[in-house]
Amino acid sequence: MPLSPIERPPHREVLPGIHWIQECGRHRVAIAQDLAAHGARWAGGGRELHVPQNAYLLVGERTLLFDTLSPAAGGLVLAALDDILGGRPLDYLAISHPDVPHAGNTGRIRRRHPEARLVAPRAGETHALYHLDDALHVGPHDVIDLGGLTLRFPEATFLDAALHTWMCEETTRTLFTVDWLGFPHVSGECLRRTDEIEAEIDVDRLEAFHSRVMFWFQYVDVDRVRAATDALAREFGGYHLAPAHGLVVREDPERYFQLMNEVVRRVAESGRGGVL
């Protein structure tokens, strides 16, 4: 059954108190062609293929924005914040890692919301190079209580740069996995949870993202990565999954850990799939 389009603005409350803001960007022709060549019928039919950036605004008694979208979406994220906050202050602006597609609107948001306390990963040694030395630094032993929502900051198990954190919210049991568990979607699937789209997320779709972004999977000892993934599954089994470059997973999250083990095996065997 065809899905009805979601009207602008591009955000929704995807779980209680968790507002998902999505930047879909342009059609990714090369990735669409690769997927079509692998028989991915969901990626055909003249639909646009998106590799999104996601930001999440958590609203309890206090508010926190996790990541900022890319500089190409500065107006979008500010409009979404206005929409959701409705005049309330933004209490915290948290950066998962200072990569441009995640942190590229930090300055604009801070100018609009000078009241927001900047939150950055404790991990890493070079905060001053990113103007993050004065931020509130958070790590695995820290908690931010938003009043009704409780945030922890587990180590980023799969990451690019060292200055990096994941986040989890304990009331809804949601793990924010940043660059891990990304995958493309097509027009019609924007801002849909995986249980709301027709196609089942499969290894091909996850591989299309990770073989480009987690380029280092091509050099790994697969068993070592599998052990880390299995440890994650034990710690966060049953948590909803909220990636920065995919759709939110509410149902059967355990399945995704298994899919990712297969993704790693494939990339280690076949090499990098290209770039985004």
Residues of this chain that interact with another protein (CB under 8 A) are 25-26, 53, 70-72, 98-101, 104, 124-126, 128-131, 158-162, 164, 212-216, 218-221, 224-225, 228, 272, 274-276
Neighbours of 115 (CB within 10 A): 11
171 versus 218: smaller Cβ distance to another protein: 218
Whether the bond between 9 and the residue before it is cis, its omega within 30 degrees of 0, is yes
- Spatial separation of the C-alpha atoms in residues 6 and 230, rounded to whole Å: 35
Contacts of range 83-87, beta carbons closer than 8 Å, 24 or more positions apart: 83/9, 83/11, 84/11, 84/19, 84/21, 84/57, 84/59, 85/57, 85/59
76 versus 84: smaller Cβ distance to another protein: 76
53 versus 177: smaller Cβ distance to another protein: 53
143 versus 162: smaller Cβ distance to another protein: 162
- Smallest gap from Cβ 240 to another protein, in A, equals 25
83 versus 160: smaller Cβ distance to another protein: 160
According to DSSP, the β-strands at 18-23 and 11-15 are antiparallel
Contacts of 180 (CB under 8 A, 6+ apart): 156, 157, 158, 159, 210, 214, 243, 260
- Smallest gap from Cβ 214 to another protein, in A, equals 7
27 versus 173: smaller Cβ distance to another protein: 27
- Smallest gap from Cβ 257 to another protein, in A, equals 16
- Smallest gap from Cβ 57 to another protein, in A, equals 21
Kindly write down the DSSP assignment for every residue of 110-162, as one continuous string. Answer: HHH-TTPEEEEES-SS-GGGGT-TTSEEE-TT-EEE-SS-EEE----SS-SSS
- Smallest gap from Cβ 88 to another protein, in A, equals 28
- Smallest gap from Cβ 174 to another protein, in A, equals 24
- Smallest gap from Cβ 53 to another protein, in A, equals 7
112 versus 250: smaller Cβ distance to another protein: 112
59 versus 159: smaller Cβ distance to another protein: 159
At CA 248, angle to CA 203 and CA 5, rounded to 5? Answer: 105
- Spatial separation of the C-alpha atoms in residues 145 and 94, rounded to whole Å: 14
Among 194, 198, 193, 260, smallest CA distance to 41 is for 198
- Smallest gap from Cβ 109 to another protein, in A, equals 14
Question: Under the phi-then-psi rule, with left for phi > 0, alpha for psi from -120 to 50, and beta for the rest, what region is 117?
Answer: beta
